[in-house]
């Protein structure tokens, strides 16, 4: 596969999708999902539009957040989140975007993250570099935790599940003692793109949806960063969490996570 050609085609498709994305800001909930999660009409419409266009232009199937589709274990598959940060989007926040990753045998080999409200378009293919608004970027430079902003996923303190709220609070408490500032943007894809761009020194995702991670993992890796789960194991499409950072920062945060204990302790 010519990855650069595929990204060029996919970029044009996401550019087309950015128009209805911008027009639908503050869209109401259309589909109630699990718990208090929901999708807007814009999520559904953009997924249909992008899936049809990608399939026709590239011949590669798509796995989308809203409708599923191609198996993520397929040899080649696009992974799409049509509106990442849906709560932000519905509320009118600009911290939201369109995420598209390409997996080859489970490995992220290309990523595209479109942030239409801030005018930022990130692309990358395996081997780098990260490309921002068409301009190749330098590899990530080492950054000390004391100078780093760290992005973290949002949550309820009373939440249970794989990563209970009290565990997340303990992680953030320990990180807050050593990092410059914590940031909670409410968009995993944005956090990962900002790690790749060097805006954030690291990002922690306590969630496990492949459509939230695939594009950003490709961006971070192309920029010279590392992405694992919170146990330090290599990221895969079945990972239930993600830790993204430049290598030295990643190692420092992993030590803090280990010192915090396991989620089962909470």
Angle formed by the axes of helices 165-176 and 247-260, nearest 10° = 130
Percent of the chain with pLDDT over 90: 84
Binding residues for Mg(2+): 65, 81, 84, 212
> What residues have CB less than 8 Å from 253, skipping those under 6 apart?
145, 150, 175, 202, 204, 243, 245
Residues 11 and 130 in one domain: yes
Indicate the residue among 87, 113, 136 that finishes a domain: 136
CA-CA-CA-CA dihedral for 138, 144, 145, 148, to nearest 10: -40
Output the pTM of the full model: 0.94
Q: What are the tens digits of pLDDT across the range 107-124?
A: 999 999 999 999 999 999
Please, which pLDDT band fits residue 28 given cuts at 50, 70 and 90? Answer: low
Please, which pLDDT band fits residue 42 given cuts at 50, 70 and 90? Answer: confident
Residues 50 and 90 in one domain: yes
Q: What are the tens digits of pLDDT across the range 217-249?
A: 999 999 999 999 999 999 999 999 999 999 999
What pLDDT, on the 0 to 100 scale, is given for residue 32? 55
Q: Which of 224, 233, 228, 21 is nearest to 124 (CA)?
A: 224
Q: What are the tens digits of pLDDT across the range 157-173?
A: 998 889 999 999 999 99
* Three-state DSSP class for residue 45: helix
What pLDDT, on the 0 to 100 scale, is given for residue 211? 97
Domain CATH code at residue 181: 3.40.190.80
Q: What are the tens digits of pLDDT across the range 59-77?
A: 999 999 989 999 999 999 9
Residues 98 and 7 in one domain: yes
What pLDDT, on the 0 to 100 scale, is given for residue 36? 47
Please, which pLDDT band fits residue 31 given cuts at 50, 70 and 90? Answer: low
Percent of the chain with pLDDT over 70: 95
Binding residues: 65, 81, 84, 212
Domain count, the chain: 2
Residues 107 and 19 in one domain: yes
Alpha-helical segments (H) within 62-187: 86-91, 165-176
Rounded to whole angstroms, the Cα distance separating 248 from 108 reads: 22
Indicate the residue among 136, 153, 188 that finishes a domain: 136
Q: Is the pLDDT of residue 37 over 60?
A: no
What pLDDT, on the 0 to 100 scale, is given for residue 33? 54
Residues 46 and 78 in one domain: yes
| Mean predicted lDDT score pLDDT of the chain | 93
Q: Can you give the residue range of the structural domain that contains 229?
A: 145-265
């Amino acid at each position: 596969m010519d990855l650069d050609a595929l990204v060029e085609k996919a970029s044009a498709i996401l550019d087309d999708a950015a128009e209805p994305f911008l027009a639908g800001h503050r869209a109401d909930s259309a589909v109630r999902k699990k718990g208090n999660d929901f999708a807007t009409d814009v999520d559904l419409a953009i997924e249909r539009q992008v899936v049809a266009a990608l399939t026709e232009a590239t011949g590669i199937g798509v796995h989308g957040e809203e409708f599923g589709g191609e198996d993520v274990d397929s040899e080649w598959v696009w992974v799409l989140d049509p509106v990442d940060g849906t709560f932000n989007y519905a509320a009118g926040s600009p911290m939201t975007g369109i995420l598209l990753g390409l997996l080859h045998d489970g490995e992220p080999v290309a990523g595209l993250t479109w942030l239409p409200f801030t005018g930022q378009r990130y692309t990358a293919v395996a081997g780098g570099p990260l490309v921002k608004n068409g301009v190749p970027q330098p590899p990530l430079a080492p950054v000390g935790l004391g100078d780093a902003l760290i992005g973290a996923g949002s949550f309820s303190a009373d939440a249970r599940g794989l990563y209970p709220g009290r565990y997340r609070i303990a992680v953030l408490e320990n990180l807050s003692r050593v990092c410059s500032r914590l940031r909670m943007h409410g968009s995993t894809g944005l956090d990962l793109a900002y790690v790749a761009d060097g805006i954030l020194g690291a990002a922690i995702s306590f969630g496990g949806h492949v459509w939230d991670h695939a594009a950003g993992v490709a961006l971070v890796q192309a920029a010279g960063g590392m992405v694992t789960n919170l146990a330090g194991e290599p990221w895969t499409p079945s990972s239930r969490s993600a830790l993204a950072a430049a290598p030295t920062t990643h190692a420092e945060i992993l030590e803090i996570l280990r010192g915090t204990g396991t989620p089962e302790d909470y």
